[in-house]
Every structure is written in C-alpha cells, then in structure tokens.
A and B are shown apart, each in its own frame.
Chain A
Amino acid sequence: MAQTYLQNTSEQTAALKALKKRRWGGAAPYLFIFPWIFGFVVFTLGPLLFSLVISFFDWPIVGKVTFIGIDNYVEMFSNDPLFWKSLFVTLKFAALFVPLNIVVALGLAMLLNQKVKGSAIFRTAFYLLCHLRRGACMIWSWVYSGDYGILNYFLSVLGIQGPDWLNDTNWSLVAMVVASLWGQGSMMLIFLAGLKGIPKDLYESASIDGAGKVRQFLSVTIPMITPTILFNLITSIIAAFQQLTLALLLTGGGPLKSTYFYAMYMYENAFKYYKMGYSAANAWFMFLIVLTLTFLVFKSSEAWVFYEGEMKKNPQKKLKASRRGRS
C-alpha cells in the first residue's frame, strides 16, 4: 500500500516535471535574462573583481603598472592621515544622518497617515520636493550663506546670530546632514506603505485593552513596521557612505576637511591624483565596512524585527520560545 503510494507520487512528480519542462524549460528563460547577465558580468562583477586586483598594484592612469602586494593597504592604514580623517568624517555623518533620517521619514509618514483632508496633496508635495533635491542641491549654498542666507535671516528674527554654515568647521557637517535630510521622499513613502499595512483591528483591540496613543505606538506600530525599519536602516547606511555629490557641489570637502567624506577621498585619489590602485584599495575597504555593517544589522534584526508571516507559519516555535523565556 505504502509502496504503491510512493510509486504513484514519484510517477506523478516525474510527469509534472516533464510538463513543466515542456512549458517553461529550454533556453528561452536564459535568453530573456541575458541582458542582465551580460551587464552584471561586464559592469558589476568584472569591475568588482578587477577593482580588487588593481588594489594590489601601483596603477597610474598612464605609465608603468607595478605589483606591490598589500602596500596600498599598509600605506592607507599607517601613513595616510587623510584616510583616517575622511573615515572619521563619514562615520560622524552616518551617526547623525542614519538615525535622524529614520526618525524624520517615519515622523512624516505618520503625519501623512492621519486621516485629514488633502493628505494626498501633502504627500505629493513632500515626494516632489525630494525628487527636485538632487538637481537643486546648489540652492543650499545660497540658503546657508552666512551674510545673505535665508536660514540666518530666520535665526536673526528669533534673535540668534547664525554662523556661516558651510564655512564654519563646527557647523558644516551638520549643514550637510540637514541638506541630506531634506530629500525624504522615497523612504517616507516606504514607511507610509508599511503603516498602511498594519491591520486596524490591532489598534482596536489595543485600545479595548486600555492602551493609550503612546502605548499603541510603542506596542503596535513600532513592532509591525520593524521590517520596514530594517530595510530603511540598511539603505540609509549605504547612502551615508556614498555621500559625495553634496560635498563636491557645496563645500569641496572643506572647510579644513570638515566635510571631507570618505567617498570624496576615494574620488580625489582616483580622478585628481590618478592613483587608481590606491583608490581601489580605498573602495574595497569601504565595501568591507558597508558589508560588515549590513551583516551586523541583519544579524541583530533577528532580535528586533518582527515578521507577522513567520508567526502565522510557526506559532508553535514562537510559543515555545516565549515559554522558555518565561521559565
């Protein structure tokens, strides 16, 4: 009995496989995805590996290429104050930018999630401005101007003498963070989608249980959007390490290298000093940092990210885990 059953199923799966193969198999799918495969090899994987290779060479854009082993890396860590300076600037920027970015985007999304008339207009307005940001980022050099800037005008109305933002070593990085926060569009929309996905009955039952607004926010909203927070957190970290355009356009890395981002350091090594090998070493080091950070965030996410689907699929496991935690 059991034998026939087994035989049957294996025959069935074989037949099903043959059917699927006829329908979906062959070379066709590879032809369809070929553009991506080609592009991946030529514009991503190839360059990625080649970048690792040239990081072990002294590789000027013209002239003799010499293999120098790990000298680029040694030089970077032991003999290049700019490397440490720019790394420090970027870490400081990331430490300010990443949490603020999440808080601002989430705050705006929650504001837009209120049931008020015209929220669609506000949503559009916020998103639109984010898209103008990249083309319009030179506006900031005018907004931040010490003598004529609109920001200092507002501050002077409040009786505060504002600094010359972009030329003051104490404030230039903060000014960069604010300018970066200004374009909060897509992250805000992703949060908004996450908020809209929270089932209403969760709030209803929470309020029946006597939970106030704050409590609801902490116990319903936050846990339910932790997957979205995870996604935005990783995107923000990567964005922070890639920050370059603003610095190029607004400060040129100054004053006194206070906005000299790591990406700018890399950029200058490659395209100002034409030290391709050295810059590739810089790039790989940054890649490793970003990978490590992403990995750590993912690792930590097991502790704080809550997946509703997982709970449904595996109620036993969760129950056991919570029991274990209690005893």
Chain B
Amino acid sequence: MKKVVAYALLIVFSLLFIAPLFWAVTTALKSQQELYLFPPKWIPSVWKFSNFAEAWNIQPFNLFLKNTLLVTVLSTLGQLISCTLVAYGFARFQFKGRDFLFLVVLATMMIPWEVTMIPQYMEFNYLGWINTLKPLIVPSWFGSAYYIFLLRQFIMTLPRELDEAATIDGASKMTVLLRIIVPLMGPSLILVSVFQFMGCWNDYLGPLIFLNDQTKYTLTLGLSQFKGMYGVDMQSIMAITCLISIPPLAIFFFAQRYIVGGIATTGIKG
C-alpha cells in the first residue's frame, strides 16, 4: 500500500516536471493553424519538422552555435586544468596560510555575482574585451571555487602512499599529479566538465552583458531575440529551445552515473 502511494506520487511529479517540456516539443511541431487552439491539441495532426529548420534559419543560428561551442569548450577546458592544479595544491601540500586561503575559496562562493559584475564589466571594457567572447572564456582559466572544493575533496580521498611511492622513485610533484592523481580523478573530472558545460551552454546573463553584436551572440542570446525583434514568435522559441536542449540531454545520459554519485561524495552531507 505504501509503495503504491510512493509510485503514484513519483509518477505525478514526473508528469508535472515533464509536461512543460512535452508541451514545448509538440508546440514546435504544430502547424500555424493548430498553434492557437483552445483547448490545446496535445498531438499535432501534421508533424511539421520543417519548423525546426525554419526557426534555425530566421537568425544565423549556425554562427551562434559556433560561438557557443567555442565558449563552452574553451571554458570547460580552462576549468579542468586550472581547478585540478589548484585542488592538488590544496589537497597535497602543507604551506603557510593554506587553511586560511581555502576558507577564502569557500567564502567566494557566497559573493553574489552582481557585486563584482560592474567592475568586471569596466575591467573588460578597459581591456577592449567587450563584444568579444574573451570575458566568457578567460576567467574560467583561473579556477572556480565550487569545482576547486569538489576536486580537492576527491583528491583527499586518494591514498597518499601512492604519491609518496612515486616521490621516492624520483617523480616530481607535477609528474605525481599527471601520472598518479589525474588518472584516478576520472569521475570527478567528468562531473566538473558536465557542470561547466551545462552552466556555460545555458548561460544567458554573461553573454547579455558582454556581447552587443549579433555576430558574437551565443545560442541563448539568439533565442531571446525571438522576443521583441519579431513580436513574440512562440513557435520559433519552442523549436530552438528543443534543439538547444539536445546537447545537454545527450551529455547527461552519457554522464549520469557520475553526476548522481558525484554530488553525493562532495562532502555536503550531515
């Protein structure tokens, strides 16, 4: 009996969560005539797959895709490299001020982005980076508190004897990191990549603030242009939303076992 209730609730919630997405997909597939029917038709009578191509071609989405990929891939790469180095430094060395500095790392997670937003904008403006993709990429190469924390927690769980054995064999710190630690960090590095990829792919505020020129737009920024420029083109919005959800979906399915397990091991627990 208890199980039946649990199942029923799970199914109801899943439906509640999935309904808006399903609705978006069917809207994207409908013909113009069926779009504004009430009560709405769940399954379109004609499936117009051409809607996707049309929406994609209203604006230069190929270009937006290229920009987004550039930003996403480069910033993910940057986070992986910089956060691994920093996390290794915090996890495997003793040095003056380590605990204090690590506390500072954690504290920076509390600073609302809005507080640093304006000076950052001015900084990038001074460097002539406004309306380029650099503000969206370069900061990622200097680490991010949450990932540093996550990777450090993971490195701490690896036995130190491994490092020591390699050190005795004459390996340098960097060799230990590259040959011993990194190969063992697989799952947590995948977790960081997925988080950064998703965050970057879906980011709207960053591109909105730092980019002005349509040739520099990312996908999310292009998507938001359907509101305003051409009235509210609901169908194109839904079509593009569906299309740009595909890569995160694919990545999620590829990496899901790392994601769910990974969050549980970051140490945020009772």
A residues contacting B by CB (< 8 A) are: 20, 23-25, 28-33, 35-40, 42-44, 46-48, 50-51, 54, 61, 108, 111-112, 114, 116, 119-120, 122-129, 131-132, 134-136, 138-143, 147-148, 150, 153, 156, 182, 186, 189-190, 192-194, 196-198, 224-228, 231, 234, 238, 241-242, 244-245, 248-249, 263, 266-267, 270-271, 276, 279-280, 283-284, 286-287, 290-291, 294, 308
Interface string of B72-113 (1 = CB under 8 A from A): 000000000010011011101111001001001100101111
Q: Give the distance in Å from the alpha carbon of A111 to the alpha carbon of B2 in the complex.
A: 11
Please name 13 further chain A to chain B contacts, defined as beta carbons within 8 Å, in addition to the given A150-B20, A244-B205, A270-B118, sorted by A numbering. Answer: A29-B94, A125-B18, A150-B19, A150-B23, A153-B40, A189-B263, A193-B269, A198-B270, A242-B113, A245-B204, A249-B224, A263-B114, A266-B114
Determine which of B27, B94, B259 lies in contact with A20 in the assembled complex, contact meaning CB atoms within 8 Å: B94
Given contacts A108-B13, A242-B114, contact A190 B268 (CB under 8 A): yes
Most chain A beta-carbon neighbours within 10 Å: one of B139, B142, B260: B142
Report, nearest first, the 6 A-B pairs whose CB atoms are least far apart.
A39-B142, A32-B89, A29-B93, A47-B119, A47-B116, A134-B202
Q: State the Cβ distance, B161 to closest chain A Cβ, in Å.
A: 13
Contact B112 A290 (CB under 8 A): yes
Which of B46-54, B57-65, B237-245 faces chain A? Answer: B237-245
Q: Which residues of A contact B268 (CB under 8 A)?
A: 190, 193, 228, 231
Determine which of A35, A128, A182 lies in contact with B252 in the assembled complex, contact meaning CB atoms within 8 Å: A128
Q: Give the distance in Å from the alpha carbon of A226 to the alpha carbon of B111 in the complex.
A: 23
Contact A139 B85 (CB under 8 A): no
Q: Which residues of A contact B112 (CB under 8 A)?
A: 238, 241-242, 283, 286-287, 290
Q: Give the distance in Å from the alpha carbon of A321 to the alpha carbon of B84 in the complex.
A: 44
Can you give 20 contacting A-B residue pairs, CB < 8 Å?
A20-B94, A29-B93, A29-B98, A33-B86, A33-B89, A33-B90, A35-B143, A36-B142, A39-B139, A46-B119, A47-B115, A47-B116, A48-B115, A128-B252, A135-B201, A138-B227, A138-B241, A139-B20, A196-B264, A283-B112
Q: Which residues of A contact B143 (CB under 8 A)?
A: 35-36, 39
Contact A43 B93 (CB under 8 A): no
Q: Give the distance in Å from the alpha carbon of A241 to the alpha carbon of B141 in the complex.
A: 27
B220 at the interface (CB under 8 A from A): yes
B117 at the interface (CB under 8 A from A): yes
B6 at the interface (CB under 8 A from A): yes
Determine which of B7, B36, B115, B141 lies in contact with A284 in the assembled complex, contact meaning CB atoms within 8 Å: B115
Q: Give the distance in Å from the alpha carbon of A61 to the alpha carbon of B39 in the complex.
A: 50
Which B-chain residue is minimally distant from A142 (CB atoms)? B234
Contact B201 A32 (CB under 8 A): no
Q: Which residues of A contact B6 (CB under 8 A)?
A: 111, 114, 116
Which B-chain residue is minimally distant from A125 (CB atoms)? B14
Which A-chain residue is minimally distant from B23 (CB atoms)? A150
Q: Which residues of B contact A46 (CB under 8 A)?
A: 119, 123
Contact B245 A25 (CB under 8 A): no
B residues contacting A by CB (< 8 A) are: 2-3, 6-7, 9-10, 13-14, 17-21, 23-24, 27, 35-40, 82, 85-86, 88-90, 92-95, 98, 101, 104-105, 108, 110-123, 125, 139, 141-143, 148, 167, 173, 198, 201-205, 208-209, 220, 223-224, 227, 232, 234, 237-238, 241, 244-245, 248-249, 252, 256, 259-260, 263-264, 268-270
Q: Which residues of B contact A23 (CB under 8 A)?
A: 167
Q: Which residues of B contact A189 (CB under 8 A)?
A: 260, 263-264
Determine which of A136, A142, A287 lies in contact with B27 in the assembled complex, contact meaning CB atoms within 8 Å: A142
Q: Give the distance in Å from the alpha carbon of A245 to the alpha carbon of B207 in the complex.
A: 12
Given contacts A33-B101, A122-B14, A135-B244, contact A48 B204 (CB under 8 A): no
Which B-chain residue is minimally distant from A193 (CB atoms)? B264
Contact B269 A228 (CB under 8 A): yes
Which A-chain residue is minimally distant from B3 (CB atoms)? A116
Determine which of B89, B105, B260 lies in contact with A123 in the assembled complex, contact meaning CB atoms within 8 Å: B260
Given contacts A116-B3, A280-B118, contact A35 B270 (CB under 8 A): no
Which B-chain residue is minimally distant from A283 (CB atoms)? B115
Q: State the Cβ distance, B204 to closest chain A Cβ, in Å.
A: 5
Q: Give the distance in Å from the alpha carbon of A296 to the alpha carbon of B248 in the complex.
A: 38
Which B-chain residue is minimally distant from A289 (CB atoms)? B112
Which A-chain residue is minimally distant from B22 (CB atoms)? A150
Q: Give the distance in Å from the alpha carbon of A192 to the alpha carbon of B101 in the complex.
A: 30
Contact B248 A135 (CB under 8 A): yes
Contact B270 A129 (CB under 8 A): no
Q: State the Cβ distance, B14 to closest chain A Cβ, in Å.
A: 5
Q: State the Cβ distance, B149 to closest chain A Cβ, in Å.
A: 11
